[in-house]
Amino acid sequence: MATSSRLLVTSRTLSVSRVHESAATSPTGSVGRVRIVGLLATAEKNALVGRPSLSCGGGRGILGGGVIALRIPVSGKVDFAAGSGRRAGGCCKASLDALIFDCDGVILESEDLHRRAYNLTFEHFNVKCGSKQVHWDTEFYDVLQNTIGGGKPKMRWYFARNGWPTSSLFETAPESEAEQSTLIDALQDWKTEKYKDLIRSGAPRPGVLELMDEARSMGIKLAVCSAATKSSVVFCLTNLLGKERFEQLDCFLAGDDVKHKKPDPSIYKVAAEKLGASPGRCLVVEDSVIGLQAALGAGMTCVISYTSSTSKQDFAGASASYPNLGGVSLNELIKVVDAAPAVL
């Protein structure tokens, strides 16, 4: 019976050569999956129990960072546990092409910051439906933000049901579509600036940065798709991820980039096109039913990282659900994609 061993890979591009350890798996003697985390470059050699093995060369697989995949001979003490890795040109390939994050609620637990920014905006412009000052309390906003995606659609939905408001921008309630759009645009622009003021003290939710770094090191593409306005999301990401991580994203889409907002799947369909990725090999991290519906509608696998305001939602269709991403490894998420039913 085969026993486990270590696959040693050295890198020739680092100033000091180092050895990185991994495991090789295969049900029949071919490489199923080799997982090496770290920014390693072209592999020089490897050894199994002190014995050199053969290098297959050609192509890049799950190793990422320029590491060439290695073919492990059946002989030698290697744990050939059955795996779901796919072979292409003699190399291992992850079943995950792209990891896609929503922003609000996933990268930042931001719901209450948005609510406070809206209320500051309504107060600043003296927005009233009838004689009542518009104010969204926590209970109402939890329902609203889980029903309607995007800031402008939220206000349109609210005003359509409560009457278009008077304000310091319009002494009488706007009646034409053009006037209503002008009001919504002005309120959203001011709200976005107030949100930026509030977000400066924010921090990313647990596990987000670690997963992003792990995916980057493994050559898996990264994207962020948010229903919020682009200026708001850019500010959020550059502050929470850092400029370098933000600029390394393979795709970034905001609500301004698509005609229809979540739960419409447009934003994820566009992301797949821009990433050059098959939807069935993309994994989306969302926090709400709206985002889940958008991801599933695009033919993608979706996991939930819920917040206090979304924890009671019915996440039927999600492949996994977590209170946050702290302690969740990329390998675990790859297994989720492997186990997800095929989208026909």
Instruction: Confirm if 295 and 302 have CB atoms less than 8 A apart.
Output: yes
The DSSP letter of residue 344 is -
Residues in CB range of 193: below 8 A, 6 or more apart: none
Catalytic residue, chosen from 104, 142, 250, 287, is 104
**Alpha-carbon span 103 to 141, nearest angstrom:** 18
Count of other CB atoms within 10 angstroms of residue 131: 6
Catalytic residue, chosen from 102, 142, 250, 264, is 102
**Alpha-carbon span 240 to 34, nearest angstrom:** 31
Instruction: Confirm if 2 and 76 have CB atoms less than 8 A apart.
Output: no
**Alpha-carbon span 77 to 162, nearest angstrom:** 71
**Alpha-carbon span 185 to 166, nearest angstrom:** 15
102 is catalytic: yes
197 is catalytic: no
Alpha helices in the chain (DSSP H): 111-124, 138-145, 151-162, 177-199, 208-217, 230-240, 243-247, 266-275, 289-297, 330-339
Residue with tokens 């960072």: 65
**Alpha-carbon span 318 to 330, nearest angstrom:** 17
Instruction: Confirm if 313 and 306 have CB atoms less than 8 A apart.
Output: yes
- For 52, phi then psi, to 5°, come to -60, 145
For the annotated catalytic residues, the residue numbers are 102, 104
